[in-house]
Amino acid sequence: MSIVNTALYPLSDKTRRAEIVANAARQLDKDGAAAFPAFVTPEALADMVAEASARFDRAYRRDQRLGFNPQGPLAKVADEALLKRASPYSMWILGSDLLDDGGTLCTLYRSPELMTLAQEALGIARLHVTVDPLINVNVTYMGEGDQHGWHFDDNDFVVSLLLQAAETGGAFEYAPEVDTAPVEDIHAILDGNSSRTRLQKVEAGTLLLFRGRKALHRVTEVAGGKHRIIALLSYHTEPGFVYADEVKKNGLGRISAIAA
């Protein structure tokens, strides 16, 4: 059974594949993001939701107020007033050690089909899976009132797959190419008062490639009874990548794997 929806994404057909890659590269160039709606089959999506939900009781609860992690030229010009600005990070996170290594989600993560697509669309010679036992595939859940505040990522890019959308809210909002923006523009974005921001349409099953180090982004507050569930897939340009203990402690509340 194929995990990727080959009717929409016939990646083994050379011509169609080149079109899909070119289209994604264009979107990334223009917006810093490329979306692949209905990237996985409904059956694969249902498997992934089941795999993640089975371990939900072991998820780490994150409830913090954090700064926006300025990058690039912005990090040099940010003044005290800007650096003081923080927003809520409230969500549940599953470490990759809790996911079934032979399951559908981890199989997709390691699949040459997906890795080659991401590689070509992002214009990277070779991507490698992260070998960190805690952070390679992670699943984030957000319930009523949860949100993921404004920030830049430390990673150049992220690959995400929305497993389940919230009833209301839980929207992905971002302002591309603002690592070079003036300080006033950043204040305006954080105030919710900027024409530089946009909403990315993402539905369950949408794969998103996103340049998070150049874009200020957030997930808006979730409402309603349904969790927003998203898988975040980490790849690196060098083999053997492991995250710093501090990153693990902050994101997962622990630095070593939980015995199954």
Ligand X SMILES: O=C(O)CCC(=O)C(=O)O
Give the integer Cα–Cα distance in Å for 250 and 48.
Answer: 25
Token readout for 238 is 């060098």
Give the Cα separation of 90 and 64 in Å (integer): 6
Beta-ladder partners of 66 = 87
Confirm if 146 and 189 have CB atoms less than 8 A apart. no
Residue with tokens 């998820």, as numbered in its chain = 59
Applying CB under 6 A, among 33, 121, 207, 230 the residue interacting with ligand X is: 230
Is position 153 an interface residue for ligand X (rule: CB under 6 A)? Answer: yes
Q: Is 104 in the site for ligand X (CB under 6 A)?
A: no
**Residue of 87, 109, 75, 59 whose CA lies nearest to 229:** 59
Which residue's CB is nearer to ligand X, number 3 or number 163? 163
209 contributes a contact to ligand X by CB under 6 A = no
Which region among 38-46, 100-108, 120-128, 212-220 touches ligand X (by CB under 6 A)?
212-220
The 191-220 contact track toward Fe ion, x by CB under 5 A, reads ---------------------x--------
- Indicate which of ligand X, Fe ion, none lies near residue 230 (CB less than 5 to 8 Å, by partner kind): ligand X
Do 16 and 181 contact (CB within 8 A), yes or no? no
State which residue, 211 or 217, has the beta carbon closest to ligand X: 217
The residue range among 58-66, 90-98, 126-134, 146-154 that interacts with Fe ion, by the rule CB under 5 A, is: 146-154
Task: Answer with the entry of ligand X, Fe ion, none that 172 interacts with (C-beta below 5 to 8 A by kind).
Answer: ligand X
Q: How far apart are CA 21 and CA 16, in angstroms?
A: 9
In whole angstroms, give the CA distance from residue 85 to residue 80. 9
Q: What residue ranges bind ligand X (CB under 6 A)? A: 140, 148, 153, 160, 172, 212, 217, 219, 230, 232
